[in-house]
Structure 1
Amino acid sequence: MSAGKIGVLGMDNATWRRHASPWSVYTRMATLPLLVAAIWSHSTLGLGPSLALTLGVMIWLWTNPRLFPAPKNTNTWASRATFGERIWLNRAKVPIPSSEETTAIVLSLVTGVGFMATIFGAVFNDLLITLPGLLITYTGKLVFLQRMVGLYETMRDAHPLYRFWTTYPDNDNRRQDIASAN
């Protein structure tokens, strides 16, 4: 994918850099209970307000990776997990180890099943389905993200595209510009 080109989820390179912010990663992870509450609310607020709240959460999920500034330090768990996700999504163009691909698919399926159970439980206001669904979703996603950190660590030096994601140039020109201005 060329620089700036829109890819999966409507995210271009600048959006992915912003999404590597721990603020983006952790606030996005904290959104699932809000989605559950929005869906669950249909029984007390009615369908219209519940749908409006659900739409609000969906808009937040789309806006979140675009909201926070790109991190100054990308040597964090959240940033490396985001880099791993990008590598995972790019696996058709730059192959990843087959064991990592299989593991990521299984973890994605586990997370998806947990998510569907969570949504089903919220629609039917059933805590005995919703709570285990939340637990499965979060466990699957966190293990997936940890594997994405490992995938990034493996692939970082395996392909030139990924080698410099955590490296920023040290621009000495700024110091010279300041000195010459005085």
Structure 2
Amino acid sequence: MSVEKKIAKAFNLEGDSWMKHTNPWSIWTRFATLPFIVLAVWSRVWIGWYCLIPIAILIIWLFINPTLFPKPKDLNNWGSKSVLGEKFWSERKQNPVPSHHHTPVKILTLLQTLGGIALIVGLWKLDLVFTISGTITVYLSKMWFLDRMVWLFEEMKEAK
């Protein structure tokens, strides 16, 4: 089982749940959560251990969000296609994807990981430059990754 498949399973993205996650409300409200997580962690400076309350709420939100919204009536939008591309990518061991996607996706995943590490270090040390740089790197590499997933989806849907 791929790492992505394990992550999808952790977020209850199996079967029909993927279709619920293709709802643009699910995609964009989840995508918009990172700045709130950053603020919640940074808020330990002002509210101490009470920062764990908004952090916990946001983590719960990330887990319930993919299945919270109904299936969309139309999948003809960038966000829905990106989620369906992620589904294809997570199932690539059972249903191979075109090989020209492998290297770019791995590079973008590495960039997201490095951005995440910089973000965590920035939040740990309360270093504004690391925090902002990490957040920007995570967002830019995630957007590029999602765009690649749209491309992958378009190719895979034509092949089916």
**TM-score scaled to structure 2, two decimals?**
0.90
For residue 31 of structure 2, the aligned residue among 29, 36, 39 is 29
**Identity of aligned pairs, percent?**
39
For residue 15 of structure 2, the aligned residue among 10, 13, 16 is 13
Structure whose residues are more often helix by fraction: 2
Runs of 4+ in structure 1 over 6 Å off: none
1:36·1:119 contact (CA, 8 Å) conserved in 2?
no
Partner residue of 2:48?
Answer: 46
Deviations 1:124-169 (A, max 9, x none): 221111111111100000000000000000111223xxxxxxxxxx
> Which one is further off, 116-125 or 74-83?
116-125
Name the SS for the 1:93 alignment partner: coil
Partner residue of 2:146?
Answer: 145
Task: Write the mapping of 1:127-142 to structure 2, written as runs, cut at 5 A.
Answer: 127-142=128-143
Name the SS for the 1:92 alignment partner: coil
Structure 1: segments with no counterpart, 5+ residues: 1-5, 160-182
Name the SS for the 2:28 alignment partner: helix
The 2-side partners of 1:64 and 1:116 are apart by 24
Q: Which amino acid aligns with 2:128?
A: L
1:24·1:65 contact (CA, 8 Å) conserved in 2?
yes
Whichever of the two has the greater Rg, that structure is 1
The 1-side partners of 2:39 and 2:123 are apart by 8
Q: Tell me how many residue pairs correspond in the alignment.
A: 153
Q: Is 1:74 matched with 2:75?
A: yes
1:21·1:71 contact (CA, 8 Å) conserved in 2?
yes
Greater RCO (Cα-Cα under 8 Å, separation 6 or more): 2
Q: What's the C-alpha RMSD, in Å, of the aligned pairs?
A: 1.4
The 1-side partners of 2:46 and 2:33 are apart by 21
